[in-house]
Amino acid sequence: MKIINSSREELEKLGSEFLFDKLSGVLKEKDHVVFGVVGGRSVSGILSKLGEKELDWGRVHVFFVDERFDSVDSDVSNFKVVSDSLGKGVVHGFDYKKELSEYWDEFVKFGGRFDVVLLSSGEDGHVGMLYPEHSSVRDDDERFIFIDDSPKSPSKRVGFTRRVVEKASSGVLVFLGDGKKEAFDRFEDDSVSVEGCPCKLFRCIEDGLVLVGR
């Protein structure tokens, strides 16, 4: 795992280059690549730069590490953020009108594992919809789950459990924006558990790049 501290502009460039390299590498070995993403401002710049690169995007299957339990047309959906910024790939949006199992089954159809992930940490160290000392991060199964008591609004969210995310082959974790210094300090603190700081699950991803804003 490599950690880089720099400006947002430089980190977005490095992040997009790292992801491009990993996605390209998988496509040399397999007929498709499964790319897990979160939404939000912290990753939109990386996704925009990644979308500018020449890749066989028809073989890149994008799944959402987490999503709001709402329509993909919602202005705040991760689907919209990713579609507007990346604008490429086969994007598998979550339809809240369907059973959770259908999204999981679709994920399993493409291997049931993320080849590459792009994650970001919240101020409290949450990642995706896995929150500190919450039932979401304590779920020990590999599955796609629903919660209706998210500490962060909106309360209803869906996402993959930690056991799915931490099995990704490679990925990027971003600490960008105000208030992320404390989260990064907890990420580095060996005395803090994953339950106390969910973004620490990233340590399980062997080929990882951590980007920390100045």
Residue-wise pLDDT tens digits, 11-70: 999 999 999 999 999 999 999 999 999 988 899 999 999 999 999 999 999 999 999 999
* Sole residue written with tokens 């339950």: 195
Q: Which fold has domain 2-213?
A: Rossmann fold (3.40.50)
Instruction: Please state, in angstroms and rounded to a whole number, the distance separating the CA atoms of residues 202 and 91.
Output: 23
pLDDT at residue number 177: 85
pLDDT of 200 higher than 90: yes
Average pLDDT, the chain: 96
Round to whole Å and give the CA distance between 202 and 126.
11
Q: How confident is the model at residue 211 (pLDDT cuts 50, 70, 90)?
A: very high
pTM (2 d.p.): 0.97
Q: How far apart are CA 10 and CA 46, in angstroms?
A: 10
pLDDT at 72: 86
Q: Which residue has the tokens 């209803």?
A: 156
Strand residues in 103-152 grouped as ranges (E): 116-120, 144-147
